[in-house]
Amino acid sequence: MSSTLYAALLQSIRAHAPQERHEADLPLTISQRRAEAMLHVVHDLGGQPDGPLDKSLHKTALWEKRTHCTAECLAWRGVWVSEERRRRENDLGETLYFGTPYYARWLLAAAKMLIDKGHITPDELIAKMEEVRAREEDAA
Amino acid sequence: MNTSHQHTDAHTPIEGRDEAIEFEILETAVRELSIAKGLFSAEDHRRFMEWYDNIGPTGGARVVARAWVDPQFKQRLLADGVAACKELGIDWMAPTGHGTPSDFTWLVACENTPKLHNVIVCTLCSCYPRPLLGHSPAWYERPNYRRRVVRWPRQVLAEFGLIIPPDVEIRVHDSNQKTRYIVLPMRPSDTEGWSEEKLATIVTRDTMIGVAVPRIDWTTTSTPSGQARAE
C-alpha cells in the first residue's frame, strides 16, 4: 500500500472512530470525572444517584431460602468462602447484577464456582437441570 | 409471558412458567449435584434450613427491651454485642458452632439519643445482623436504598415517614463482612411501668434498622387505626 493510500485510510478510520474511544485510548488525557466513572465497580452503590425507594416486600420463595442454605453449606464445608461468593456476584456484570433477583446472584455465582473449580462439568449441570425439569413437570 | 404469540406445536412453553421456576430448577440441580459429589450432606442443608426458619426480629426486640430495663446489660451490649446476645439465648455461633459463613460474629449496637439518630445499610451487598433480626427486608437489598441512604439519609428516612429534626445528627452505619450493626432505639417516654415483655412488642424490625422509631401504638402485631403498614 502506498503511503498516500495509507494516510487516506488512516484519515478515513479516524473520521469513523468515535471520539470517546479516541480519548479513552489516551488515559493521561481523560478527566478525573471520567476516570472515576470508568473505574467505578458495579456493586459500589453508596452515594450513587437514584429515584424514590421501592419499599414493597415479598414473601421469600422456597428456592430463595434453599439458595441461601446451599451457598452457606458450600462455605461451611470449605468449597468457597463468603467473600468469594460476594466477589463472584459482583463479577456477574451489570446486566445480571441489576437484572436478576437478589438470590439469583447467589445461585448463579454458586453454579459458576462449581464449574470453575472442576467439581461439576457444564454437561453434568445441564443434564441434571433437564432431569429436575422432567421431574417437576411429571409432578405438576 | 406474552400469551398472544403462543405456538401450538410440541414446543409450546408450559403456562405460567416464569424465571422463578428456572431458578428453582437451577437451585435443585446445584444442591443435588453438590450432595452427590460429597461437597456437603443433605443433613447439613437440613440443619441450615432449620436455622433459617428460626431466626427473626423477635430476638433483636428482646435484646433492646432488656437494654431499656437493665442499664448494666445495656453497657455490656454496647461493649460486646455478640456476648450480650448470648445472655438472652441468641447464639451467633449457630448453626455450625462457629457462626454462619456469611455473618461474621461481631455486633456493634448504635444507641440513639435525643441528639443522635442511627440508621444501618450495606452499600456493597446486603450485610445484616441475621442471627438477631432474621432476614433483611427486600428494600434493604434493593439498589435504591443502598445508593441513597448514605448521601441523603434525612430524605430517605422521610420517605419511610420518619422526620428527624434538623438539630438531630444522623449517623449512617455501613455494614460489612466484619462488622454488623443494630440500632438501639430510645425508649418512648410514655412506657413507665411496662414489663420487659410488653416493651419488646413495640420494638419492630424497622426500629432496629433505624428507619422508624418505637411508638406505643405501633407494635409487632398491630398498627395505629386508620394507618396502613408500609409493608
B146 Cβ under 8 Å from any chain A Cβ: yes
Looking at chain B from residue 80 to 99, which residues have their Cβ under 8 Å from any Cβ of chain A? 96
Residues 6+ apart with CB under 8 A from B152: none
Q: Could you say which of A79, A102, A131 has the minimum Cβ distance to residue B126? A: A102
| Cis preceding linkage at B95, omega within 30 | yes
Looking at chain A from residue 1 to 30, which residues have their Cβ under 8 Å from any Cβ of chain B? none
Residue B8's pLDDT band, with cuts at 50, 70 and 90, is: very low
Residue B27 scores a pLDDT above 70: yes
Q: Could you say which of A66, A72, A136 has the minimum Cβ distance to residue B100? A: A72
Which of the 8 DSSP states describes residue A109?
A: H
Q: Could you say which of A63, A72, A75 has the minimum Cβ distance to residue B27? A: A63
Residue B19's pLDDT band, with cuts at 50, 70 and 90, is: low
Give the pLDDT of residue B231.
42
The pLDDT tens digits of the residues spanning B206-231 come to 999 999 999 988 777 666 554 544 44
B50 Cβ under 8 Å from any chain A Cβ: no
- B175 catalytic per annotation: no
Topology of domain A61-140 in CATH is Cyclin A; domain 1 (1.10.472)
Give the pLDDT of residue B134.
93
Give the pLDDT of residue A130.
96
Q: Count chain A–chain B contacts defined by CB atoms under 8 A.
A: 173
| Grid coordinates belonging to A72 | 452457606
Q: Which CATH number fits domain B58-226: 3.60.20.10, 1.10.150.80, 3.90.330.10, 3.40.50.300?
A: 3.90.330.10
d(CA A77, CA A79): 6
Instruction: Name which of A58, A62, A66 to mutate to probe chain B: the one with the most chain B Cβ atoms within 10 A of its Cβ.
Output: A66
Instruction: Name which of A70, A103, A114, A119 to mutate to probe chain B: the one with the most chain B Cβ atoms within 10 A of its Cβ.
Output: A70
Residue B205's pLDDT band, with cuts at 50, 70 and 90, is: very high
The pLDDT tens digits of the residues spanning A44-96 come to 998 888 888 888 888 889 999 999 999 999 999 999 999 999 999 999 998 99
The pLDDT tens digits of the residues spanning B71-88 come to 999 999 999 999 999 999
Mean pLDDT, chain A, integer:
88
Residue A107 scores a pLDDT above 80: yes
Domain coordinates in residue numbering, chain B: 19-54, 58-226
Do A111 and B39 lie within an 8 Å CB cutoff?
no
Residue B124's pLDDT band, with cuts at 50, 70 and 90, is: very high
Give the mean model confidence (pLDDT) for residues A99-127.
Answer: 96
Residue A23's pLDDT band, with cuts at 50, 70 and 90, is: low
Do B151 and A46 lie within an 8 Å CB cutoff?
yes
Q: Which residue has the cell 450495606?
A: B122
What pairs with residue B118 in β-bridges?
A: B171
The pLDDT tens digits of the residues spanning B62-71 come to 999 999 999 9
Do A103 and B23 lie within an 8 Å CB cutoff?
yes
Give the pLDDT of residue B63.
98
Q: How far is B194 from chain A (nearest CA, A)?
A: 31
Cα distances (Å, whole numbers) of residue B135 to A62, A105, B139, B168: 14, 16, 12, 29
Give pTM, 2 decimals: 0.83
Mean pLDDT, chain B, integer:
88
Give the mean model confidence (pLDDT) for residues B54-67.
Answer: 96
| Grid coordinates belonging to B136 | 433483611
Return the minimum-mean-pLDDT range out of A49-63, A85-99, A116-130, B181-195: A49-63
Do B52 and A65 lie within an 8 Å CB cutoff?
yes
Chain centroid, CA A41 distance in Å: 11
